[in-house]
């Protein structure tokens, strides 16, 4: 069968393809509107964004790196890469997931409120996860935690019953392993 | 060359340096400095349209008939929003345009100033790229870069939004030759290993077909030449999309006619049954493929395209070659020759035998009449009476557009201007204005529908002002015929709002615009009337009154495959209920 089922309503097949999660690293000119172009592409073509981060990575050249975590069939993720490449101020799109296991890190700040037992337990678990306490009152802590997204998910789940009141995450930054740039 | 000048002067200078001789526009407060700069020179001609949508389509017609970048100039706010349809049209059909829009001065941006709109925000989705010029220092680079981006790679529209203070500011303009974009550099030459593989596949093919599209036209006349050469060398059959008509001559032996929803029986069956498809500058659009999971099920597919995202978008490709059509075709021709490749002659002979059987169905046939003009007959007569002239055809959108594609035959590229991807009613007349501006002595005809033509009829004034002898040939069936046909097929013949009521008297309308009006209702008078139109030295509106309820066949109903076409004889067959041909799923599609 030739059709890429998931992508077209013209296909009459059910469109069952396996969904994968990929991390795309996108090097762009840091010019006004470039982020809007990227986000607009995803919304306009119905692609998913699980996480998106952006920051300048080369000051003199004025380049930024946008790291996008997306899900879809392998064909639609290939299509996403190509569609991104069409955006004029985008230099390079790398599918880090295709390049072997990339390093992915995220930073989270987690506010936990509680007294007595729960407070002690939260502190103990924070320690076990190597989270830093960056703010404290007599009835609350703010933890700072860096790690793979899964590790943060785990920590958040553990903190929930102990009085988690607020969570702020940066989204994923990623880089390929080894000596070469991706 | 380096010179001190204002932003407005830079705009005009850059147009001159880019070789622009004509631009289409409409003035307003936010572009007055540019209009002032235009006033004081005469190397760039400004054509005053009557609606900014008209400017965009005129620029498209100009671009597509010349291979150059089309340019339009509009004011901020409503000027820019009126141009949106034309920009989207150009994006869908890959037409290179540079659209200059005025903007409120930079210090007022974001304040909801008079005639302010977020032009770069609004046009981000309907341009290939756009710029808001924030300082005079950036202007010369952006002006030249915009032309580069518009015409390079897969061409498309580029907007430059010009705040009024930037137009007044002075700065240094440097003539920049061959400006490129620092990172956007599309690949032109195909991967030779893949080209070699393609040639091997072609030599081994038993049932091959070339499927060509608008990319061949965009690649330049050389691509059409090379396509012809490759078809001649291989002896393979060739079909084309709506946008690609003229790349291979309709009189050529290997021509199958257009493919797709209203394509010929032989083209669609050849696509369905082929064992090797060579797609060149075509994008497997839904009007072409029909039902995707039944699309050419037994074939290997080679796809040549300059846009990597076109490959594997809708249909999985066995061999994708990223590159410009002309470059890749040239390498293919060279390899085929140097390696003395031969097609599988015996297999090809059988294949042609099969194709000839499909041809015998004469799928473009229709029942002519002595009492009423059949629209297909009208296009055929128009073709016969104009084919030996220097003719360019534009169209509006609807049945007449499909009949034009089926019954007007193109021998050369760049002679056929139609709105394919977006299907914009109102495209044809302004496009004809643009074509005629570029080809003063040519015969430029807009094959129109009575509904579509009213969408940009105001451009008759433009034609009048610039003495453009465009001919508007209206196939007047008193219906939005294509809508009526779908209502017949899908909605039980309930013709909801598709009757063209309260039409103007087109002859009087022509006269009101200072043009010549002709009405013809009698098949016996048709040739004479068409000749009158051709011979008239100015603009003409020809009201060709045709059969009201004629349907456009053949047709692949939505949701069906290439080998499930409806032909006229089937449609007329008393046993077949037209409303039952398209199933529930098909009705969901457009
Ligand atoms: C701007 C725009 N609005 C609506 C449509 C939908 N549409 C497609 S064909 C058509 C009817 C066109 O009627 P006419 O110009 O008389 O052409 P005919 O089909 O009768 O030849 C309509 C309304 C469109 N393509 N473009
Ligand atoms: Mg009509």
CB atoms < 10 A from the CB of B140, how many?
24
pLDDT digits (tens, 9 = 90+) for B6-17: 999 999 999 999
Residue A8 has pLDDT above 50, yes or no: no
Position A5 scores a pLDDT of: 41
Q: Same domain, yes or no, for A165 and A96?
A: no
pLDDT score recorded for residue B572:
61
How close A128 comes to chain B (CA, Å)?
47
* Confidence grade of residue B586 (pLDDT, cut at 50, 70, 90): confident
Within a domain: A139: yes
Residues B386-409 have a mean pLDDT of: 98
What is the predicted pLDDT for the residue at B575?
Answer: 47
CA–CA gap between residue B218 and residue B155 (Å, rounded): 8
Interface contact B183, partner A, CB < 8 A: yes
For chain A, how many structural domains are there in total?
2
Whether residue B204 is predicted with pLDDT greater than 60 in this model: the reply is yes
Residues A119-129 have a mean pLDDT of 96
| pLDDT for position A17 | 66
* Over residues A132-159, mean pLDDT: 97
- CA torsion B428→B24→B441→B405, rounded to 10°? -20
Q: Do A89 and A110 fall within a single domain?
A: no
pLDDT higher than threshold 90 for residue A41: yes
Residues with CB under 5 A from ligand 2 (ion): B 449-450, 477, 481
CA distances from B343 to B32, B194, B253, B333, B339 (A): 62, 19, 17, 13, 12
Pull the structure tokens for residue B568: 């006229």
Domain boundary among A79, A100, A121: A100
Question: Residue A11 — very low, low, confident or very high, per pLDDT cuts 50/70/90?
Answer: very low
Question: Are A25 and A85 found together in one domain?
Answer: yes
| Residue where one domain finishes, among candidates A85, A100, A115 | A100
H/E segment holding residue B566:
none
Report residues whose beta carbon is within 6 angstroms of any ligand 1 atom: B 396-400, 423-425, 449-452, 475, 477, 479-483
B483-540 confidence digits (pLDDT tens): 999 999 999 999 999 999 999 999 999 999 999 999 999 999 999 999 999 999 999 9
User: From the CA of B559, how many Å to the nearest CA of chain A?
Assistant: 7
Average pLDDT over residues B21-41: 98
For the record, the structure tokens of B9 come out as 């002067």
pLDDT at B247 over 70: yes
Asked if residue B552 lies in contact with residue B264, where contact means CB atoms within 8 angstroms, the answer is: no
If asked whether residues A94 and A158 sit together in one domain, one would say no
The answer to whether B313 and A79 have CB atoms below 8 angstroms apart is yes
- Helix (H) / strand (E) containing B160: strand B157-163
User: How far does the centroid of ligand 1 lie from the alpha carbon of residue B399, in Å?
Assistant: 8
User: Is position A9 within any domain?
Assistant: no
Nearest-CA neighbor of B398 among B471, B489, B472, B498?
B498
Together in a domain, A79 and A137: no
Identify the helix (H) or strand (E) that includes residue A179.
Answer: none
Cα separations (Å) of B3 from B34, B105, B172, B173, B175? 17, 24, 5, 5, 9
Q: Which residue range is the domain that position A113 belongs to?
A: 103-174
Q: Which CATH number is A120's domain given?
A: 3.30.70.1150
Record the pTM: 0.95
- Is A84 a member of any domain? yes
Q: Are B289 and A10 a contacting pair at CB < 8 A?
A: yes
Residue A96 lies in a domain: yes
Assess B128–A contact: CB distance below 8 Å, yes or no. yes
What tokens appear for B127 in the block? 């341009």
Per-residue DSSP letters for B406-462? HHS--SSTT-EE---SS--TT-HHHHHHHHHHH-TTSEEEEEEETTGGGGSTTHHHH
User: Nearest-CA neighbor of B433 among B417, B452, B410, B455?
Assistant: B417
**Does residue A169 sit in the same domain as residue A134?**
yes
Do A95 and A65 lie in one domain? The reply is yes
Q: Does residue A126 sit within a domain?
A: yes
Average pLDDT, chain B: 96
Question: pLDDT tier at B571 (50, 70, 90 boundaries)?
Answer: low
Q: Is B482 a residue of the active site?
A: yes
Do both A40 and A56 map to the same domain?
yes
- Do A96 and A24 have their domain in common? yes
Q: What is the pLDDT of residue B62?
A: 98
Distance in Å, alpha carbon of B493 to nearest chain A alpha carbon: 24
- How far is it, in rounded angstroms, from Cα A3 to Cα B114? 50
Does the residue A43 lie in any domain?
yes
B180 near A CB under 8 A: no
Task: List the structure tokens of B323.
Answer: 């590159």
- Domain contains A69: yes
Quick check: B585 and A2 CB within 8 A? no
A77 and A116 co-located in one domain: no
The band of A164, judged by pLDDT with boundaries at 50, 70 and 90, is very high
B127 neighbors B159 (Cβ within 8 angstroms):
yes
pLDDT band at B428 (very low <50, low <70, confident <90, very high): very high
Res A12 pLDDT > 50: no
Q: Does B309 touch chain A (CB under 8 A)?
A: yes
Atom of ligand 1 nearest to the CA of B477: 20
DSSP characters over B282-306: ----HHHHSSGGGSSTT-EEEEEES
**All residues at 6 or more sequence positions from B348 whose CB lies less than 8 Å from its CB, including other chains:** B206, B208, B235, B236
B382: pLDDT confidence band, cut at 50, 70 and 90?
very high
pLDDT digits (tens, 9 = 90+) for A74-108: 999 999 999 999 999 999 999 999 988 899 999 99
Strand segments, DSSP code E, in B470-532 are 471-476, 516-520
| B139-162 pLDDT tens trace | 999 999 999 999 999 999 999 999
> Above 60 in pLDDT, residue B574?
no
Determine which one of B482, B555, B565, B578 is catalytic. Answer: B482
- Whether B147 is catalytic is no
User: Do the domain assignments include residue A6?
Assistant: no
Q: Which residues of A touch B311 (CB under 8 A)?
A: 82
Instruction: Give the model confidence (pLDDT) of B120-133 as tens digits.
Output: 999 999 999 999 99
Where does the pLDDT of residue B543 fall: very low under 50, low under 70, confident under 90, or very high at 90 and above? very high
As beta bridge partners, residue B545 has B476
Tokens (6 digits) for A13: 């097949």
Res. B75: pLDDT tops 50: yes
**CATH number, domain with residue A40:** 3.30.70.260
pLDDT reported for residue A182 = 80
Segment A38-42 shows an average pLDDT of: 97
Query: In this structure, are A95 and A151 located in the same domain?
Result: no
Q: Which of B103, B148, B183 to mutate: most A Cβ within 10 Å?
A: B183
pLDDT exceeding 90 applies to what percent of chain B? 93
Per-residue confidence (pLDDT) for residue A9, from 0 to 100: 42
Q: Of A12, A32, A91, which is closest to B291 when you measure between CB atoms?
A: A12
User: What Rg, from alpha-carbon coordinates, does chain B have?
Assistant: 24
Together in a domain, A81 and A139? no
Among A100, A133, A165, the domain-final residue is A100
């Amino acid at each position: 069968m030739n059709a890429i089922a998931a992508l077209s309503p013209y296909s009459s097949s059910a469109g069952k393809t396996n969904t994968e999660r990929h991390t795309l690293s996108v090097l762009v000119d840091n010019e006004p509107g470039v982020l809007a172009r990227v986000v607009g592409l995803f919304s306009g073509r119905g692609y998913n964004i699980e996480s998106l981060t952006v920051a300048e990575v080369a000051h003199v050249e004025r380049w930024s790196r946008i790291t996008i975590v997306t899900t879809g069939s392998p064909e639609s993720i290939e299509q996403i890469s190509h569609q991104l490449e069409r955006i004029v101020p985008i230099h390079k799109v790398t599918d880090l997931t295709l390049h072997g296991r990339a390093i992915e890190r995220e930073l989270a700040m987690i506010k936990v409120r509680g007294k007595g037992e729960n407070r002690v337990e939260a502190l103990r678990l924070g320690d076990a996860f190597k989270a830093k306490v960056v703010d404290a009152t007599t009835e609350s802590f703010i933890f700072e935690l860096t790690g793979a997204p899964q590790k943060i998910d785990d920590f958040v789940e553990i903190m929930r019953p102990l009085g988690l009141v607020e969570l702020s995450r940066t989204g994923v930054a990623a880089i390929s392993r080894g000596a070469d740039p991706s | 060359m380096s010179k001190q000048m204002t932003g407005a002067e830079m705009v005009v200078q850059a147009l001159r340096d880019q070789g622009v001789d004509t631009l289409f526009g409409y003035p307003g407060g936010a572009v007055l400095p540019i209009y002032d700069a235009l006033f004081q020179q005469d190397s760039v001609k400004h054509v005053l349209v009557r609606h900014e949508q008209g400017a965009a389509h005129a620029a498209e017609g100009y671009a597509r008939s010349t291979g150059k970048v089309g340019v339009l100039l509009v004011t901020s706010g409503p000027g820019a929003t009126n141009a949106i349809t034309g920009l989207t049209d150009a994006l869908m059909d890959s037409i290179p345009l540079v659209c200059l829009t005025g903007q409120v001065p930079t210090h007022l941006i974001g304040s909801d100033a008079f005639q302010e709109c977020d032009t770069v925000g609004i046009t981000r989705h309907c341009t290939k790229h756009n710029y808001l010029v924030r300082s005079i220092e950036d202007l010369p680079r952006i002006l030249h870069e915009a032309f580069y981006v518009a015409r390079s790679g897969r061409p498309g529209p580029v907007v430059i939004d010009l705040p009024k203070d930037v137009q007044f500011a002075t700065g240094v303009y440097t003539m920049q030759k061959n400006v490129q974009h620092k990172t956007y550099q599309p690949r032109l030459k195909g991967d030779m290993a893949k080209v070699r593989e393609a040639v091997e596949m072609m030599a081994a093919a038993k049932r091959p077909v070339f499927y060509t599209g608008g990319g061949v036209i965009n690649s330049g006349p050389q691509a059409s030449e090379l396509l012809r050469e490759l078809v001649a060398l291989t002896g393979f059959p060739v079909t084309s999309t709506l946008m690609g008509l003229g790349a291979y001559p309709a009189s050529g032996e290997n021509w199958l006619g257009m493919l797709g929803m209203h394509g010929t029986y032989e083209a669609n069956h050849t696509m369905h049954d082929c064992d090797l498809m060579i797609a060149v500058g075509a994008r497997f659009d839904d009007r072409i493929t029909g039902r995707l999971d039944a699309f050419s099920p037994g074939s290997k597919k080679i796809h040549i395209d300059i846009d990597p995202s076109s490959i594997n978008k809708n249909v999985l490709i066995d061999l994708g070659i990223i590159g410009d059509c002309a470059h890749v075709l040239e390498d293919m021709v060279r390899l085929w020759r140097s390696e003395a490749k031969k097609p599988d002659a015996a297999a090809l002979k059988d294949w042609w035998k099969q194709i000839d059987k499909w041809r015998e169905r004469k799928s473009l046939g229709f029942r002519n009449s002595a009492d009423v003009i059949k629209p297909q007959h009208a296009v055929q007569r128009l073709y016969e009476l104009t084919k030996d002239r220097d003719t360019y055809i534009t169209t509006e959108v609807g049945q007449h557009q499909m009949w034009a594609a089926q019954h007007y035959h193109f021998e050369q590229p760049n002679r056929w201007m139609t709105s394919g991807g977006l299907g914009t009613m109102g495209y044809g007349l302004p496009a004809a204005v643009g074509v005629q501006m570029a080809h003063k002595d040519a015969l430029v005809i807009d094959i129109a529908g009575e509904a579509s033509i009213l969408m940009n009829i105001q451009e008759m004034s433009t034609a009048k002002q610039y003495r453009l002898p465009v001919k508007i040939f209206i196939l007047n069936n008193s219906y939005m015929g294509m809508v009526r046909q779908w209502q017949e097929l899908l909605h039980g013949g309930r013709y909801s709002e598709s009757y063209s009521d309260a039409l103007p008297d087109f002859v009087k309308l022509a006269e009101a615009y200072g043009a010549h009006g002709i009405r013809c209702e009698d098949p016996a008078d048709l040739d004479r009337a068409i000749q009158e139109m051709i011979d008239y030295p100015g603009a003409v509106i020809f009201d060709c009154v045709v059969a009201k309820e004629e349907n456009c066949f053949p047709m692949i109903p939505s949701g069906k495959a290439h080998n499930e076409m409806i032909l006229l004889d089937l449609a007329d067959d008393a046993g077949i209920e037209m409303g039952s041909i398209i199933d529930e799923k098909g009705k969901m599609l457009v």
